Amino acid sequence: MKLRLSVALLFMFVTASAIAQIPALERVEPAFWWVGMKNPKLQLIVHGNQIASRSVKLNYPGVRLAQVHQVENSNYLFLDIEISATAKPGLFTIAFAKAGTKNIEYQYELKERNRSPNRAQGVTSKDLIYLIMPDRFSNGDPSNDSKPGMLETAVNRDSIYYRHGGDIQGVMNHLDYLKDLGVTTIWLTPEIENDEPQASYHGYAVTDHYKTDPRYGNNQLYKQYVEKCHAIGLKVIKDLVHNHVGTEHWFIKDMPMKSWVHQWPTYTQSNFRDAAVMDPHASPVDRKTMLDGWFDHRMADMNESNPYVQNYLTQNHIWWIEYAGVDGFRLDTYPYNDAAYMADWARKIKAEFPHFSIFGETLVWSVPNQAYFTQGNTVNRGFDTHLPGITDGQIKDGIFEALNGKDGWTDGVNRLYSILAQDFLYQDATRNVVFLDNHDMSRFYSMVNEDFSKFKAGMALLLTMRGIPQLYYGDEILMKNFSNPDGLVRLDFPGGWAGDKSNKFTQDGRTGKENEAFNYVRALANFRKQSSALQTGKLMQYIPAKGIYVYFRYDAQQTVMVAYNSNAKDETLNTERFAERTKGFTAGINVTTSQQLASIQNISIPAKTTLVIELKK
């Protein structure tokens, strides 16, 4: 409660108490821009000591200062700039003048756009995403582990709450490992600055939108990381948070206006009930609390109905795409955002980068609830979100039920079948990201009680499912733990630090079972890289019978049969029932073992096993 009050009071008092500490021109954001953008309009945020007392002038061919906005806080100006199609790359001076004082000048640069074809290329169902928490993956540069002047300087690998020293260079050092595994796309949890006093490693409380956290590297290194990924055929997803920022953010400590964040008389946390957003019978109070309540005391909830906030966030995200060339965005806490703004944001992103990919974290409790947030107005929302895909938590839950549940009319494998049967609710379910775990939930291997047969069965279902599959770092080597607390599922990848007792990045450093798991995932992932049926083919599923669930992925070039036996004993599957899909095929190859099946008429399936069979004539 005290924090919310202090943040509200902060706006009223910081300008009086901290004027002497703010430079005459503290920053201009974005610090530079590009010619040739589809949208000719740009809004600069200017922060400096009483900067609003100054007039603004600029003179550059093709660039016009359309309007200067003064806001409640005199330490800010917002400049509306129009950049014509005829403007050329170059430098020009923005002058801030005041009678009797020397002009303050800022050299603004317009750059040429980089139109290389391997930038902003999009992430699709042809890809396999690998999710990494940079602080916990590998320490490639120990010199940046602790940075003087930041609020959290301690490094302690023995604690799940402190920073451990992993960084961007550490990820770059292991790109060959990921390529060998069969990964095509890397998603890092937010690598931009989180200068918060505690647990800053997670990255979801940004304190500077334009700055890579110095404990991970810098902007130049991040750009090099993206370029290195592209050079070897890997794509990059950047993780964004629209909904909130850290309370140590520079524009929270000195807010432009009271309406910059959602204000409450006392600290009010979100009720975290997504149903209140879509419920036709919902209380307006419940809806407002869901959307405008804060996520945490240390996470200020941004007011996305404020046009200045909208411009700031949208331009920042366009800036990162053009600057670094990333290929997709994962949108954190998507249901908590202002829907109208998010739809407008998505349109503006796609206007500049037509092939760019976007998917939103939903983590809601039913397929209709997920589909509600996706594009196309497919569930009678009366509104198009322009969000292509979501994190498909329902598929995850369905796979867990298939692996752990008991066979029943709506239980066991029938749950997964029923969830997929609801794909009609999406405009295109293949844009959804399917997964078994991530940094906010218990690890997959623990969720199947460390049953190795279930582990392999689940991985086979994940990597043959429609959509864009995602692994969480360490899944492939059987990393485990329950998210109680979350830090237990965010442990270090063994071998990522000099002096580690074992190096799981190498075959020799892994145990026999870990190598078996790694090789199993690698076999499926690399088969998927070459399989048109698994990448873009159709899916046809059959009603489960006697605990066995069968579906096919197919196109004109290839047919892959997936059969999961959920029973505790081995079964023999007669395939006569699937004649419409097996017609013309007489044999097959077990994808994970390379075993030849001379006949597919009757197939033996071990207990708790998923067979992936490429059909042959």
Catalytic residue among 239, 338, 361, 476: 361
Per the rule left: phi > 0, alpha: psi between -120 and 50, beta: everything else, 499 is left
Q: Which parts of 325-392 fold into alpha helices (H)?
A: 339-352, 367-371
d(CA 274, CA 291): 9
The C-alpha R_g of the chain, in whole angstroms, comes to: 26
**CA 612 to CA 194: how far, in whole Å?**
43
The residue with tokens 């199947």 is: 448
- Give alpha helix (H) positions in 260-306: 275-278, 284-292
Residue of 196, 248, 332, 514 marked catalytic: 332
CB 194 within 8 A of CB 206: yes
Distance in angstroms (rounded) separating the CA atoms of residues 160 and 162: 6
Question: What CA–CA distance (Å, rounded) separates 211 from 302?
Answer: 19
- Residue recorded with tokens 């430098």: 91
| DSSP per-residue letters across 184-212 | -EEEESP-EE---SS-GGG--S-SEEEEE
Nearest to 487 by CA among 455, 435, 443, 434: 443
Instruction: Indicate the residue type of 408.
Output: G
**The two structure tokens encoding residue 356:** 């760019």
Output the CA–CA distances (angstroms, integers) from residue 573 to 50, 209, 576, 603, in the order listed: 77, 55, 9, 5
Integer CA distances (angstroms), 212 to 190, 195, 220, 320, 362, in order = 9, 11, 9, 11, 26
The answer to whether the Cα torsion of 200, 205, 211, 212 is positive or negative is positive
C-alpha pair distances (Å), 150 with each of 196, 205, 214, 221: 8, 14, 9, 20
91 touches 53 (CB < 8 A): no
Q: Determine the residue type at 1.
A: M
Give, in order, the Cα–Cα distances in Å from 284 to each of 175, 266, 290, 291, 294.
48, 19, 10, 11, 17
Q: Pull the structure tokens for residue 608.
A: 């708790």
Q: Is the dihedral of CA 84, 90, 95, 96 positive or negative?
A: positive
Query: With b meaning 16 or more CB within 10 Å and e meaning fewer, what string describes 169-206?
Result: bbbbbbbebbeebbbbbbbbbbbbbbbbeebbbbbbbb
Name the nearest CA neighbour of 444 among 408, 403, 492, 385: 403
In this structure, what are the phi and psi dihedrals at residue 539, rounded to the nearest 5 degrees? -120, 130
SS3 616: strand
Active site residue 361: yes
How many angstroms separate the CA atoms of 76 and 465, rounded?
50
Asked if 470 contacts 130 with a C-beta cutoff of 8 angstroms, the reply is: yes
The residues annotated with a catalytic role in the active site are 332, 361
